[in-house]
Structure 1
Amino acid sequence: MFDIFRKHTKIMMVLLVLLIIPSFVLFGIDGYQKMNQTDTIVAKVGAIEITQAQWDAAHKNDVDRLRASRPELDVKLFDSPQARYATLERLVRDTVLQVAAEKSSLITSDARLARFLQEDPTIASLRRADGKLDMERYRQLAASQGLTPEGFENTVRQDISKQQVEAGVIQTGLLTTAPADVALNAFFERREIQVVNFLARDYAATVNPSDADLEAFYQANVSQFKAPEQAQVEYVVLDIDAVKKDIKVPEADLRSYYEQNVARLSGNEERRASHILINAPKDAPAPQREKAKAQAESLLQTVRAAPDSFADVAKKNSQDAGSAPKGGDLDYFGRGAMVKPFEDAVFAMKKGSISELVESDFGYHIIKLTDVKEPKQRSFDELRPGIESDLKNQQAQRKFAEVAELFTNTVYEQSDSLKPVADKLGLEVKTVAAVTRQPAPGASGVLASEKFLAALFAADSIEKKRNTEAVETAVNQLAAGRVITYNPVKTLTLAEVRQQVRDGVVAARATELAKKEGAEKMALWQKAPEKAVLPSALTVARDQMQNLPAQIVTAALRADAKALPVWQGVDLGSAGYAVVRTNKVVPRDEASQPTAAQDRAQYSQWWTAAEAGAYYASLKEKFKVAFLVSQPSQNVTTLP
């Protein structure tokens, strides 16, 4: 489609200049840039519009956060249409809740914001030993989300307001025991049944189809016997590793980095302590806390008078069940492992000393510092491989954008081959046969990317065999490919699929025979139950399937309890047929259910979640939510 540009480059340049310069004069540079922006509207919340650009940016932020927090995950898993649509749904939900908060005047005050930030574990981890917030690390936390500290706080403020919108539903979603037990007893009800199976596989040996049978089945199901379109393709991939392999870090830079970061790279100080704990939860009544404090002060006087008795006193008196048997020993730990008051005390003590009383949310502690493990400074040679890898990664990240532009331009400008870009950037051209439009089961790398496969199977790519554009297949990864040979969808002949057709005929006939005999037996046994030869009874429930198909258990539980015993015929689909005799109801023995309280709590959560979902649905209707893009199917189907 770009042949005219390639053949008449000079003419097209003149035309472009004549068209573009007046646009700058009429609209200005800013207007011209805005014309380039992706402003397609993908969803609306009333008058508020969510654009494609906002959607793309939000999804990229989600993927970046996942990549930072869970580096072991393959972020390409989140590049599917379903994952992208989930991001759009989240954007819409956030917008709905924000609008609802504003309409209800649910404003988060400065005091509430400050209290929330103080209690947040992530923010707490940024505090220095003196308890003050490390502002540099705080700025880094905000920057990791693309925000200033003020922007981060505003985001948190909005999140708190949005939480208040649903809080009225969620916090009042309490269900009393009686209705919960009615539902749970019905759900967990058990029934005694006897089952006779008539399985298709047991009848397969009796089926011997003729050639005419095979021909008739083939003609009736010809759409099932198609070979999918396939292509032989070649492709190249540009990623961080490809950029990194050409980077050389000078020895002087490695040594300079070592000297500046040796303390951090060598590890952190660890301390070993023992403690005696007297429990006094922060929400306990004042008299109880005073009594606990008095007991702790008495024990403190005891160990101060005889420091060597600390372990024995801890064994006899400490209320920390985990450490008391070990004389209060907590082993070695670093900063961030203990609650803040405890940690502050430990890291301010000298080896062998005993603390004053330390109050935490758990109660009162008496601490003895038993050892200090200073980090051992590691040599340059020990750390050199890691330092070199870190610096190469940093440089590769900075250089990737430059190389990516060269990659993109080259695959476009020399579109009849991938060899020029491979030679220029030192990439490998890979060739793969039998590539299909959808990712093959177990596919990995760029061939698992639906976006890349869509570019390969675009009409222009198939017809002209030119390079695809550079496609972003993962974070910091571009790929380009070209079709070498293409085979469209074709119907396979009966000779090519004869065995497959025969298997289909045998399976269908065997299923018919199984269902026929099963239905006949059920009719007979309903009239003359004494003629039935039944296996031993089983007790089944929704959570006790006894390795039976779900259709059998569902049928048994749906049988009218007042009419038992009941005979039922259960269609098992292609597997065959089953005759089920449901004998009696076996009530749920609540006394034997060790998880009864947990079940009620879980049911209450389900009920609350359902109410919250219904409330959100009403808000969507109230604020006129409209999705302007289609929701992708949850299951990706592939041709046989």
Structure 2
Amino acid sequence: MFDFVRDHTRWVLGFMLLLIIPSFVFFGVQGYTRFTGAENATVAKVDGRTITRAEWDSAHDRTVDRARRQQPGLDTAVLNTPQARRDTLEGLVRDRVLLAAAQAMHLTPSDARLQRLFVTDPQFAGMRNPDGSVNRELLAAQGMNSEMFAAQLRQEFAVQQVVSGVLRTSFATPGVALAGLDPLLQKRELQWQRFDPAAYRARVNPSDADLEAYYKKNEARFKAAESAQIEYVMLDLDTIAKGLKLSDADLKKFYDDNAARFTAPPERRASHILIKADKAAPEAERKKARERAEALLAEARKTPAAFADLARKNSQDTASATQGGDLDFFGRGAMVKAFEDAAFALEPGKISDIVETDFGYHVIMVTAARGGNARPFAEARGEIELELLKTTAQRRWPELAEQFTNTVYEQSDSLQPVIDKLKLEKRTATVRRTAQPGEAGPLASPKLLDAIFAKDTITNKRNTDAVETGTNRLVSARVLQHTPARTLALAEVKEAVRERVAGEQAAALARTEGQARLAEAQKDAALALPTAAVVSRLQAPGVPRAVVEAAMRADAAKLPVAAGVDLGPEGYAVLRVTKVLPLDDAQANDAGLRGQYTQAWAMAEGDAYLKALKKRFKAEIKAEADAPAESASAPVR
């Protein structure tokens, strides 16, 4: 549900959601898997309530799936690292802490307030029916009903209130903001010289003894990773849908039963003349306003072609008067009811009687009408077929998932029985214990890779259990050939070793000459270095980051200051800071920069508040959440 809400809303406090509550997935439905002791192990606790490994796995799978939907070209391997999984768990802990705080502070909105928030927030416009109710078809497409949506929306609004008081009240005076921004904006003049290892490469020639010594010292760098050639099968909604057949009668029945979906909503284009009259105004004043409206109505009906000119000169709706009263096209629910009813009752070219609303008295002329026509069945057929295939596949999923799970387990010596039973495709691949860069889909799933490299799978050549590698996606694999990790012989990697040793030796020569030049620069303040630059932490074109940081760290009270920077494989740099430049007026008075500083300060305060809440509600991540597992637990930092 929260995936759906996140895909359709951008909160005013968007940065709060990004920093403080990035996941919000702690009430997801458990995956269709066998529950084992490991899956039910507690990996975290908040306010005495546990988060299990199964919940963690499910949340991370949803995170990866959501990222894949939002960025189809994303390399999801970066989301399946130990750090990425740890981030997901910490997100779950944050969510639980914020929910516990919302409940303790009684911040949950009432039904009336929840309805008001839903109806008035423009971000939910696409989810509302004209009468303000939630569109149940949209919810059903996401596997939800209105009760589930209301419960989750209530939690979101409650949690927002926990931190919004901190984030919305932070401020920084111009002086404080400027002092805080100075390390970022300050510019310094410097001279510098780089000693590039490439310039020394021709001067080095590693011996065989050098290569062997480097190889022995760095054998761990020259390992061939453990790998396995596998065959595997996958059951997902697309696979199920491919095996389904739908008759024209089924498609036509759906079309007839859902005629409203395939009919463009009626719209009207209208122009109006408004004479304002407040409901609380004296009766005499309201009577005078109505008489004026009636006079304009008579004039409009007398010369309909002059309606636009009449509106420009007389309408008190300043927004539309300049457009001749034109309101463009609008549908049901866009205007107040009395205005809407009058407009939709008119044919194009017709003028209404006086229409009274809370704004005053209107004279309405409908200028065009569109919509209300059904799309032909032939045009909608493809769309209907896709939807019915998807919904039918979803209905069949529980039954077929159970058959898949049972078959690969009960007939574990081959994948052929499940292939024959469910008409699946056999696939092959070579995989390693961790997903490789660029890998996507089921073979990027840590759970599947763990199952493939389990001892029983490798030793006994058994099928893995059915592994959920995504929403409505089960995979089972079988190892055909296993290759253990091994250290490559020097002969196999000699050229790679030679390149590394030569690079290190060239970098050492560059460093030696650089250090000699630094000694000269420190003795002779007049010694000029070949390249001049003006740098700041924000702008440093062509200057290595390490050089910039060294320049900005130099003691401004002792200028000129010379320093050396070891750039590792990139060589060595010598620099001299000669001057600190004053902040220019544009930067000193930049309200946008000060606003960004205030926002950053607000997020820092929000983060500190969150840490206090974690302590209050005894949030902790268990050692079982780390690999390898240990018995102790550690407080959340």
- Judge same fold: TM > 0.5, yes or no: yes
TM superposition shift of 1:100: 3.3
Which residue of the other structure, out of 539, 543, 547, is the alignment partner of 2:538? 543
Alignment-mate amino acid for residue 596 of structure 2: Q
In 2, the alpha carbon distance for the partners of 1:58 and 1:538 equals 49
Work out the CA distance in 1 between the residues paired with 2:273 and 2:587: 39
Distance 2:310 2:75 in 1: 53
- Measured against aligned partners, the alpha-carbon deviations of 1:483-506 in whole angstroms (never above 9, x if no partner) come to 111111111111110110010011
- Could you list the per-position Cα deviations for residues 341-378 of structure 1 after superposition, in whole angstroms to 9, with x for gaps in the alignment? 89947964633456868779xx9998754321125433
**2:12 aligns to what?**
none
Q: Give the match's secondary structure for 1:466.
A: coil
SS of residue matched to 1:497:
helix
Cα pair 2:448 2:467 within 8 Å, conserved: yes
| Pair 1:160–1:421, CA change in 2 (3 A) | closer
Equivalent residue runs for 1:278-297 within 5 Å: none
- Pairing partner for 2:247 from 247, 250, 266: 250
TM-score, length basis structure 2: 0.77
The answer to whether the Cα contact below 8 Å between 1:400 and 1:476 also exists between their aligned partners in 2 is yes
Match of 1:616 among 610, 622, 625: 610
Runs of at least 5 residues in structure 2 that lack an aligned partner in the other structure: 1-33, 628-637
Does residue 406 of the first structure (1) align with residue 403 of the second (2)? yes
* CA deviation vs aligned residue, 1:141-176 (integer Å, no higher than 9, x gap): 499575663x65555555444444334322321222
Counterpart contact for 1:335–1:343, Cα < 8 Å: no
Deviations 1:67-100 (A, max 9, x none): 9996969897877766665554344334433443
Structure 1 residues 592 and 174 mapped into 2: Cα distance closer, same or farther (>3 Å)?
A: closer
Q: Alpha-carbon deviation of 1:614?
A: 0.8
The match for 1:380 is 377
Contact 1:349-1:369 within 8 A present in 2 as well: no
Does 2:474 align with 1:473?
Answer: no
Report how far residue 62 of structure 1 moved: 7.2
Cα distance in 2 between the residues matched to 1:182 and 1:472: 52
User: Residue 237 of structure 2 contacts residue 394 of structure 2 at CA under 8 Å; is this kept in 1?
Assistant: yes
* DSSP 3-state at the match of 2:194: strand
Match of 1:489 in 2: 485
Q: 2:563 aligns with which of 568, 575, 578?
A: 568
Cross-structure match for 1:8: none
In the alignment, what sits opposite 1:556? 551
Secondary structure, counterpart of 1:242 in structure 2: helix
TM-aligned CA distance change 1:526 to 1:113, over 3 Å: same
- Partner of 1:243, secondary structure, is helix
Find the aligned partners of 2:202 and 2:240 in 1 and give their Cα distance.
61
CA distance in 1, matches of 2:341, 2:579: 65
Residue 215 of structure 1: which of 208, 212, 215 is its match? 212
1:300-449 aligned at under 5 Å gives the runs: 301=296, 304=300, 307-309=304-306, 332=329, 344=340, 348=344, 350=346, 351-352=348-349, 369-433=366-430, 435-449=431-445
Q: Give the corresponding residue for 1:100.
A: 101
Instruction: Give the SS at the match of 1:495.
Output: helix
> Are 1:198 and 1:514, in contact at CA under 8 Å, matched by a contact in 2?
yes
1:197 alignment counterpart: 194
The counterpart of 1:627, out of the listed 621, 624, 632, is: 621
The corresponding residue for 1:604 is: 598
Do the aligned residues in 2 keep the contact of 1:514 with 1:577 (CA within 8 Å)? yes
Q: Which residue of 2 aligns with 1:14?
A: none
Q: How does 1:97-246 map to 2 (within 5 A)?
A: 97-104=98-105, 106=107, 108=109, 112-121=113-122, 129=130, 132-134=131-133, 137=135, 141=139, 146=144, 149=147, 153=150, 155-246=152-243
Q: Residues 608 and 390 from structure 1, CA distance in 2 versus in 1: closer, same or farther, beyond 3 angstroms?
A: same
Moved more, 339-348 or 490-499: 339-348
Matches within 5 A, 1:34-113: 40-52=41-53, 66=66, 85-104=86-105, 106=107, 108=109, 112-113=113-114
Distance in 2 (alpha carbons) for counterparts of 1:451 and 1:69: 20
Checking the alignment, whether the CA contact within 8 Å between 1:275 and 1:366 is kept in structure 2 is: yes
Shift of 1:509: 0.6
CA gap 1:324/1:123 in 2 versus in 1, 3 angstroms: same
Say if 2:351 and 2:364, in contact at 8 Å, map to a contact too.
yes
- If the length of structure 1 is used for normalisation, what is the TM-score? 0.77
Which residue number in structure 1 is paired with residue 447 of structure 2? 451
**Structure 1: gaps of 5 or more residues:** 1-32, 634-640
Q: Letter of the 1:119 partner, please give it.
A: T
Structure 1: distance between partners of 2:339 and 2:480:
65
- d(CA) in 2 for partners of 1:343, 1:569: 76
> Which residue identity does 1:200 align to in structure 2?
P
- CA distance in 2 between counterparts of 1:402 and 1:382 reads 33
Instruction: Supply the distance in 2 between the matched residues of 1:506 and 1:120 (Cα, whole angstroms).
Output: 64
The CA distance in 1 between the partners of 2:68 and 2:336, in whole Å, is: 26
Shift of 1:243: 1.4
Query: Equivalences for 1:518-537 in 2 at 5 Å?
Result: 518-535=514-531, 537=532
Q: Report deviation, 1:309.
A: 4.6
CA deviation string 1:456-478 (max 9, x = no partner): 11111111112111111111211
After superposition, the Cα gap between the structure-2 partners of 1:328 and 1:414, relative to the gap in structure 1 and judged at 3 Å, is same
Mapped contact 1:226–1:489 kept (Cα < 8 A):
yes
Matched pairs, number: 578
Contact persistence 1:467–1:480 (CA under 8 A): yes
Q: Secondary structure at the match of 1:544?
A: coil
Aligned-partner SS, 2:258: helix
Provide the identity percentage: 45
> Counterparts of 1:343 and 1:71 in 2: how far apart (Å)?
43
User: Would the aligned equivalents of 1:67 and 1:73 in 2 still touch at CA under 8 Å?
Assistant: no
Moved more, 394-403 or 162-171: 162-171
What is the match of residue 509 of structure 1? 505
Distance in 1, Cα, partners of 2:599 & 2:149:
31
- C-alpha contact (below 8 Å) 2:68/2:74 kept by paired residues: no
SS in 2 for 1:511: helix
Alignment-mate amino acid for residue 441 of structure 1: P
**Structure 1 residues 329 and 584: alpha-carbon distance in aligned structure 2, compared to 1, 3 A threshold:** farther
Indicate how the Cα distance of structure 1 residues 323 and 566 shifts in structure 2: closer, same or farther if over 3 A, else same: farther
Secondary structure in 2 aligned to 1:203?
Answer: helix
SS at match of 1:249: coil
SS of residue paired to 2:580: strand
Q: Secondary structure at the match of 2:406?
A: helix
Q: CA RMSD in A?
A: 4.4
